[in-house]
Structures are given as structure tokens and as C-alpha cells.
Structure 1
């Protein structure tokens, strides 16, 4: 078992989640149940799945939760691209967020490969 609070992937994804909450607070009210909700739910899913995976008794189970977290990251990236298309975020912010997502994916993938 791993202590999720000690994992850099959990710390980074938790920080990213907070950033998503801050950014989506500026989205139009009409997106409250659309992109705002979807982005927030997907971003919460990443550190949550990492934490839940830590509780599993086998590395295989933990690896599966990391795989789910990576899937949520790609969901977030898609939703951010749509947010950009709709003019809710600018290119600079999109690039910054996608860079951070890519870093989290790489860290998570590398950690996941060490479990197998």
C-alpha cells in the first residue's frame, strides 16, 4: 500500500483540480450544469482515483485506478479544448493547462509502469 498524500501525482492533480475550480468560476452561468460541472467532476476524479487506488491491496488494482485517472485527464483536456472553442478560456491559459495535464499524465504513467 502507498500513502497517497506522499505521492507527487496526487499532489499535482489536487492542485490542478483547484485551478479548474478557479477557472470555471468565470464560465457563464449557462454552463453551470454543462462544462463547468463536467470539468469539475473530471478534475476531482483524478486525485480521488489515485487516493482510492492507494487503498487497494495489489499493485494490479492500484494500476487500474491510475488508468482511470489518466482517462479523466484526457476527458479534461477535451473539455478544455471545447471551452477554448467557445471562448471561455484563451490560448495562453489553454496551453498552460494542457502543459500541466501532460506533465501529470507522464508522471502517472511512469509511476504506473513501476507497479506492473
Structure 2
């Protein structure tokens, strides 16, 4: 299976791109704070999906999918903090939050698929 053809991976790549766009509007003193943490969490999602697909067993794949899901929850929390702490563009926030929810749904579905295999 080529992970690059999976909707869940493609969606998480789009999410990471949105995170990079979104974090550019945060104050420059957040470059090594919340911005950095959000980018790391966003990159972790497609990376762990890819690594999981590259594993030999469904059990190992599921383990990495759960790590990716954990990164989504981490990113969601950081995004909410951004909204609470900084004046961020509402449209950017809403688009990113919606994409995050979509990715969360796709990963949950993919985990369910692998657990039934």
C-alpha cells in the first residue's frame, strides 16, 4: 500500500501546510514557543501515518496511527490556546480547526479499519 495515495495522509499534509500558514501570524517571540510546537505536532501526523503503513504488522501500524491521533489532539489544544491568547484571524482559525476535525475523523476511521483486519 502506498501511503501517499491515502486520503488520511493527503489530508494531514494539507493540515500541516495550513498550520505553517497559520503560525506565521503569531508574534515573532512565539517562533520557538507555540509556533514551533504546533509545527512539530502537525508534521508528526503525516509522518506517523507513513511510518505506520511502512511497518510489517497491523498491530505496529495501529500503534503509529494512535501516535498520529495523539498529535492531532495535541495540535487541537495548541490551536485553542492560540485563539485564547492571541488575536488570530478568525477565518484562518476556522479553516484550520475544520481541517483538523476532518483529519481526526479520517484517522479514527483508519484506526477502526486496521483494528478490524
Give TM-score, length-normalised by structure 1. Answer: 0.93
Corresponding residue of 1:89:
88
The structure showing larger relative contact order (alpha-carbon pairs under 8 Å, at least 6 residues apart) is 2
TM-align CA RMSD: 1.2
Shift of 1:29: 1.0
5+ unaligned residues in a row in structure 1: which ranges?
none
Corresponding residue of 2:61:
62
Alignment of 1:27-106 (within 5 A): 27-106=26-105
Superposed CA deviations along residues 14-44 of structure 1, whole A, max 9, x for unmatched, are 0110111111122111101101100000000
Secondary structure in 1 aligned to 2:4? helix
Q: Distance in 2 between matches of 1:94 and 1:22?
A: 11
Q: Which moved more, 1:19-28 or 1:47-56?
A: 19-28
Superposed CA deviations along residues 38-81 of structure 1, whole A, max 9, x for unmatched, are 00000000000000001100011101111110110010110011
Q: What is the number of residues matched between the two proteins? A: 115
5+ unaligned residues in a row in structure 2: which ranges?
none
